[in-house]
Amino acid sequence: MNSLLVTGSSGLIGSEVVRHFDALGWKIYGVDNNMRADFFGPKGDTRWNQSQLLKSCNNFEHVELDIRNRQGVLDLFKELRPTHIAHTAAQPSHDLAASRPFDDFDVNAVGTLNLLEAARQFCPESPFAHMSTNKVYGDAPNNLNLIEHETRWDYGDVEYEDGIKESFTIDQSKHSLFGASKVAADIMVQEYGRYFNMPTCALRGGCLTGPNHSGVELHGFLSYLIKVNIIGGEYTIFGYKGKQVRDNIHSYDVARFIEEFFKAPRFGEVYNIGGGRDNSTSILEAFDRVANITGKPMNYKYSEKNREGDHICYISDLSKMKDHYPDWDITKPLQTVFEEIVASWDKRLVS
């Protein structure tokens, strides 16, 4: 039987990966210690997701473990020797990293190294998919020729019509400390693939989202925005006139790509995994879209100060992914993503 070890298994991507592969009949080991609640407080708690996985998944086993615990990680891999690994655990906020730099680096960089070395020692042939981030590019995309439209910023050069490619520079830019720790992890994933000939990939996510996301102000753009609309709260726009653009990919489509990578793994690869142009939206456009679904106008205020290292416009070029894995494509359009998140928050807030 195929066995999959998923780190961050109670989080957005991790829980989706668990459900996806459980449905395929795989044995799943989910590693999580609810560090998100430590980072973001009760609103970031993921124990609800964990309880739902234990109730609904037939082949899922929860492992309470902090990936910073090197010996614990080594012992777990020695015992389980999983046939596949999906590393989705992270400190995910570039704002929070500035106030907790040691925790950020230890989780993102050192935790990833612990997992890679454990895999090298006990199951080096097992495909290893790592959730990286578009923040590895720092704020370099802001130096592109950008055009301001009525509701969004966009790329002005034809070269970037389909978005940012994997060949885009990761150097000489401001990443945020979060971005820097994720660069370290991203490069290590590539290096273990190339140096030790291990099947690894770093997936540089755009805005990863979906109905199981516990969005908070410091992380989880779309989930948090929709929650604020539903509860009638006030949303703060940080700079760029609210026209900053993100491409959004449903967690299900991320899990589907990980499955395709597992079927035909490559060594030390990187992919920009996002929603692409069709699933892109600015904050102002997101306000209008959610208001049309809920019937509630968005209440917001504006701060001139943008977040450090933030992108003005980021859209993932998906051409490399589709070329390497032609059976994969986006299946959840942006409207569906919004509708599913609205329904999920309605259910959770009532219960």
> Beta strand pairing status for 207-209 and 200-205?
unpaired
d(CA 259, CA 255): 6
d(CA 36, CA 124): 29
pLDDT of residue 347: 86
> Beta strand pairing status for 84-87 and 3-7?
parallel
The whole-model pTM stands at: 0.96
pLDDT of residue 88: 98
pLDDT of residue 312: 97
Q: What is the pLDDT of residues 295-323, one digit of tens each?
A: 999 999 999 998 877 899 999 999 999 99
Residue ranges of the chain with pLDDT lower than 50?
none
CA distances from 47 to 15, 44, 53, 171 (A): 11, 9, 10, 37
Residue 298 has phi, psi (to 5 degrees) of -85, 130
pLDDT of residue 106: 98
pLDDT of residue 349: 82
Q: How many CB atoms lie within 10 A of CB 106?
A: 17
CB-based burial, 135-152: b 16+ in 10 Å, e otherwise: bbbbbbbbebebeeeebb
Give me the count of residues in the chain: 351
Using DSSP, how many helices (H) and how many strands (E) does the chain show?
13, 15
- The domains found in the chain, sorted by start residue, are 3-350 (3.40.50.720)
pLDDT of residue 351: 63
